[in-house]
Amino acid sequence: MANVSGQHWNRSDECWSSLLSCRYFAELTRLATTQLAGENALGYLEIETDSDLKGVGWSFSNGLGNDVLCTAIRSLAPRLVGRKLSDFTSDMASTQRKFQSGQIRFMSPERGVVQLATCAVLNSIWDLWAKAEGKPLWRLVCDFTPEQIAACIDFRYITDALTREAALEMLKKQAKTKGERIRLAEQSKAVPAYNTSVGWLGHSDDEVRTKLNAAAKQGFRHFKLKAGQGVENDRKRLGMVREVVGEEAILMVDVNQLWDVDEAIEYMPKLADLKLWFIEEPTSPDDVLGHAKIRKALKPHGIGVATGEHVNNRVMFKQLLQAEALDAVQLDACRLASVNEILAVLLLSAKFGVPVVPHSGGAGMVELCSHISTIDFVVVSGKQSILEFTDHGHDAFEAPATITSDAFHATPTVPGYSCDVKTVEFDKFECPNGSFWQSAQGRKMLEDPWRGVLGEQTS
Ligand SMILES: [Mg+2]
């Protein structure tokens, strides 16, 4: 395996990572994003070093169960202790594999909560690496040579679709022109934003109309709405969007795994005249062939299929792409094994010619994904794609994601992976000792085993 240290390694060589703590906080969501009561929670890891740098990594959860995520992080994070940062970064592909190896693999290899925990731990390494180099993460990666990027990827299980040699060839081709795209990124012209804040089911029609007008004025041209609430209901909402933003706007809908395969095939053509780019998560995220069947059936109606926010690893994305099941790859920066595996999925998507439209619907996800989409544009696909901008939770972060006046994501400038959460958030939301969780409402929620289950929740 090639060594990626060399020129990308300087002042942090003397620092080594010693585990400080593994702590987490849960933050109440500020929006009812679906009919269920969702929360925004992070399994949060800080690694302290013998320099003044801290590496921060986290993975996202929806509230209840975040303690399970944190337990999984506590199982893996001690592997960092007593090592130099360069022990990990000198061969990132092996680092990923090491964190996914051993007895922990029995817990379900490269899937589920252990995969989320692996992501948090690897994110802390990437964050520390970028901070040590004094660069935002996207720039760290975009300054790599094609060989150095390829050396971060574990190609095991995907070589039947993408070999290291083929990936290198793709990366070398894009490297020739990456300078112009870096300039665009520096001007925050790399990643157009799409808007989902208009479309949550918790909003009234008036609220949707007001938000739409504001978003259209801000320059948004892509909108995604929750759907699956009955054809008439969906037609009314989507028609409202068409009326406010016009025929040129790109519309997408999301039903969060609502249907059986054949239900999706029956329902969606009834919305075809509204000209939808894609239906997101029409069915179980595990159903590769089901997605392929839906895509084939909806193609004559001009509706595409997208999924990815619950796709656990590069192998499933490989299969979805091989089965021609997708029109957009919606990878989630916390569902995959950090930047390592994200690079593999970006390359697979580019190989199959499918755009990457990352999922970033939870607090902190836009912060991470603005790095990822920039990397895709500059060094992998070379093409602009859109990235979700959800307008909540950003004030919890030290380097919050923002959008420009013409609806592009502002390219991150602060060194690191934009993971750092403000200290004041821990005072309030660290579970169970933060002031919120010690309040009457917080204690009631902690005692409620049915949080988020419609009709059963008591808090
Ligand atoms: Mg979704």
Render pLDDT for 79-118 as a digit per residue (tens, 0 to 9): 888 888 988 999 999 999 999 999 999 999 999 999 999 9
Between residues 240 and 178, the one the model is more confident about: 178
Placement of tokens 């009955």 in the chain: 230
Q: If you measure from the C-alpha of residue 319 to the centroid of ligand 1, how many angstroms do you get, rounded to a whole number?
A: 20
d(CA 185, CA 374): 7
Q: If you measure from the C-alpha of residue 306 to the centroid of ligand 1, how many angstroms do you get, rounded to a whole number?
A: 9
Q: Provide the pLDDT for residue 14.
A: 36
Q: If you measure from the C-alpha of residue 196 to the centroid of ligand 1, how many angstroms do you get, rounded to a whole number?
A: 10
Q: If you measure from the C-alpha of residue 60 to the centroid of ligand 1, how many angstroms do you get, rounded to a whole number?
A: 14
Torsion of CA 210, 211, 216, 217, to 10 degrees: 70
Of 54, 135, 224, 226, catalytic: 226
Pairing of strands 83-84, 16-27: antiparallel
Q: If you measure from the C-alpha of residue 183 to the centroid of ligand 1, how many angstroms do you get, rounded to a whole number?
A: 31
Q: Provide the pLDDT for residue 49.
A: 84
d(CA 136, CA 141): 9
Q: What is the DSSP string of 104-166?
A: GGGG-TTSHHHHHHHHHHHHHHHHHHHHHTTSBHHHHHHTS-HHHHHTT---TTTTTT--HHH
Which residues are CB-neighbours of 324 under 8 A, at least 6 positions away? 292, 295, 296
426 has a pLDDT exceeding 90: no
Torsion of CA 434, 415, 388, 429, to 10 degrees: 0
d(CA 437, CA 443): 6
Q: Provide the pLDDT for residue 200.
A: 63
Q: If you measure from the C-alpha of residue 69 to the centroid of ligand 1, how many angstroms do you get, rounded to a whole number?
A: 21
Helix, strand counts (H, E) of the chain: 18, 11
- In this structure, which topology does domain 6-154+423-446 adopt according to CATH? Enolase-like; domain 1 (3.30.390)
Q: Provide the pLDDT for residue 27.
A: 60
d(CA 193, CA 405): 11
263 has a pLDDT exceeding 50: yes
- Binning pLDDT at 50, 70 and 90, where does residue 392 land? confident
Distance of CA 66 to the CA centre of its chain: 17
Q: If you measure from the C-alpha of residue 255 to the centroid of ligand 1, how many angstroms do you get, rounded to a whole number?
A: 7
d(CA 230, CA 206): 19
Q: If you measure from the C-alpha of residue 413 to the centroid of ligand 1, how many angstroms do you get, rounded to a whole number?
A: 28
Of 135, 318, 359, 392, catalytic: 359
- Binning pLDDT at 50, 70 and 90, where does residue 23 land? low
Domain map of the chain by residue range? 6-154+423-446, 170-396
Give 344: exposed, middle or buried? Use CB within 10 Å, 0-12, 13-18, 19+: buried
33 has a pLDDT exceeding 60: no
- In this structure, which topology does domain 170-396 adopt according to CATH? TIM Barrel (3.20.20)
Q: What is the mean pLDDT of residues 296-304?
A: 98
Average pLDDT of the chain, as a whole number: 89
Q: Provide the pLDDT for residue 25.
A: 59
Please indicate whether residue 226 is annotated as part of the active site: yes
- Edge to edge, the sheet with strand 40-49 lists 54-61, 40-49, 16-27, 83-84
Q: If you measure from the C-alpha of residue 308 to the centroid of ligand 1, how many angstroms do you get, rounded to a whole number?
A: 8
d(CA 295, CA 287): 12
Q: What is the mean pLDDT of residues 287-315?
A: 98
9 has a pLDDT exceeding 60: no
Task: Locate all alpha helices (DSSP H) within 323-383, ordered by sequence.
Answer: 338-352, 365-375
19 has a pLDDT exceeding 80: no
d(CA 337, CA 111): 9
Please indicate whether residue 236 is annotated as part of the active site: no
Q: Which of 194, 182, 151 is nearest to 388 (CA)?
A: 194
6-154+423-446 and 170-396 in the same fold: no
pTM: 0.93
